[in-house]
Amino acid sequence: MPKHYLIAGLLCLLLSGSSNRCYSLAMDNARRVLVTGAGGQTGQHVFRKLLARPGYLPIGTVRSEASRKALLEGIGDDKAEQVVICDITNENTSTLDNLVKDCDAVMICTSAKPAPTGEINEETKRPLFGFPNGQPEIVDWLGQKNLIDAAKKANRDIHVVLCSSMGGTNPLNSLNSLGKVTNADGTTTGGDILKWKRKAEVYLMESGLPYTIVHPGGLLNEPGNERELCLGVDDKIPGTTNNSVPREDVANVMIAALEDDDYRGRSFDLVSKPVGEGVVTADYGKLLATLEGKNCDYSLGETA
């Protein structure tokens, strides 16, 4: 638990018995954390966990009123002020700037999301995918750049924790082909999601802000806190051949990064062993220590 929250709790004991005063004091001393993509699957885990965790005041962003309504149905209307409609890709960043300026940390959980277009590739006979809610260049690069710039403008020691993806060391990774269109002149447009993500990661590292970059493997919609987690770098993780990890465990690692300064200035890959194999991870400091100081090498792979 953050020290400032413990101090607030002790002060509450000295007050004259008003629970409202105690709550107000706790909130005044809570760490304000902006969670972008709070309506998404991984972002929801991060946002809900921070809501339930003492010492935090999370603010979740969603892109539409429908997403806001759906999120509030799960957490209660009493949290309405903590769920805000904000499109991080908007060229007018005034709303984003206002949200970030008083924050202690930013958790970036937004990502372009591929979906079948309904068409079939005539050569491969496989479904074609597109990005109906924004191409990777817009969401994973320009949107994340807007967030990083907002944190820099706030002139604060804002810790940015970025959820990205494994696979970035291989420019030919199949994920980069999703949403990519070959033009008549042979050039291509769209897609390259891992390259745009990697571009945003480099921009964050060069921003001067405290950062943590997490590259999860394939994301599972399965319960967390049931597996041994494994870290590595450059798409190589010792100790397991498994390449997936529950979204909830990704959220756990991202939150651990907020609470352990050793996670600052780090970039790494994350997967889990299958349930029942190994020892369930509970100590995230020991987990980080398994990297032995290594970080991802950004001379590998390509940026867009």
pLDDT at 210 over 60: yes
**165 has catalytic annotation:** yes
- Single out the catalytic residue among 67, 111, 164, 165: 165
Check residue 23 and give its pLDDT.
Answer: 47
**pLDDT classification of 8: cutoffs 50, 70, 90:** very low
Q: What is the pLDDT of residues 175-198, one digit of tens each?
A: 999 999 889 898 999 999 999 999
Lowest-confidence segment of 5-14, 77-86, 140-149, 284-293 by average pLDDT:
5-14
Check residue 28 and give its pLDDT.
Answer: 67
Check residue 182 and give its pLDDT.
Answer: 86
Check residue 122 and give its pLDDT.
Answer: 81
Q: What is the pLDDT of residues 75-111, one digit of tens each?
A: 999 999 999 999 999 999 999 999 999 999 999 999 9
pLDDT at 153 over 90: yes
Count other Cβ atoms within 10 Å, centred on residue 204.
Answer: 25
Check residue 16 and give its pLDDT.
Answer: 46
Check residue 113 and give its pLDDT.
Answer: 94
pLDDT at 9 over 90: no
Per this entry, what is the length of the chain? 304
pLDDT at 128 over 80: yes
Q: Region 243-271: what's the mean pLDDT?
A: 98
pLDDT at 252 over 50: yes
**pLDDT classification of 285: cutoffs 50, 70, 90:** very high
Q: What is the pLDDT of residues 272-284, one digit of tens each?
A: 999 999 999 999 9
Q: Region 220-233: what's the mean pLDDT?
A: 98
Q: What is the pLDDT of residues 39-57, one digit of tens each?
A: 999 999 999 999 999 999 9
**pLDDT classification of 123: cutoffs 50, 70, 90:** confident
Check residue 37 and give its pLDDT.
Answer: 97
Check residue 20 and give its pLDDT.
Answer: 52
Check residue 196 and give its pLDDT.
Answer: 98
Average pLDDT of the chain is: 91
Q: Region 205-226: what's the mean pLDDT?
A: 98
